[in-house]
Amino acid sequence: MEPRAFHPTPETPWQLPADIARARECLAEGEALLDQGKVEEALALLQEAVRLDPRYAPARNKLGVCYVRQGELEPARREFLAAIEIDPRFAPAYSNLGNLHQEAGRLEEAVAAYRRALEIDPDYAIAHHNLGVVYRRMGRISESVAHLKKAARLEYSRGGTEAVTGRPAARWAPLAWIGLLLLLAYFLMGR
């Protein structure tokens, strides 16, 4: 992988390669702790990653996720927006921002954020799943089913670990199919 270019800011007029490397380590360690449910420990490492490299979009995004887990939604929103400002093509930050909109009941804004994530990465299973969920809340059942099916197909074909749940896709996919069947039954019974 080619080294990332340094973009000086007023906060970081210069940056050592060791700081950049340590920021990556802090992000990896913080993600692992977050997956284990150790939110406070993860928070400290993710804050350190951002301190060491404030222009590292994945660290800003994961710090936002950590804030969400603590119920601190405004700091989370700021981190997702910072990640997007740093890298406007970073799909996970748009999807996470969409989650905040959805939780606040701003469904149209959530749709726009998820759709932006999918413009960037059409095979981003998490954004398809989230868009399917918000469409269901909006009563747009056929669109919901289409996106939930797409998410399940992508996860099944990947056969790896789902980034949101941290669980193997083989365990996640059947739940998605059950949800799809329930949505379909609901839709058919409502006619």
What confidence tens digit (pLDDT) does each residue in 166-189 have? 444 445 556 666 666 666 666 676
Evaluate whether 86 touches 55 at the Cβ level (below 8 Å): yes
* Host domain of residue 58: 17-88
Angle of CA points 166, 168, 170, to nearest 5°? 145
Closest CA to 72 of 49, 50, 103, 94: 103
d(CA 40, CA 7): 30
At residue 161 the predicted structure's pLDDT band, cuts being 50, 70 and 90, is very low
Domain end among 56, 88, 120: 88
Q: Which CATH number belongs to the domain containing residue 21 in this structure?
A: 1.25.40.10
d(CA 145, CA 161): 22
Confidence check: pLDDT of 6 > 50? no
Q: What share of the chain is helix, strand, coil (3-state, %, to 5)?
A: 75, 0, 25
22-45 average pLDDT score: 95
30 with 81, same domain: the answer is: yes
Closest CA to 79 of 92, 8, 178: 92
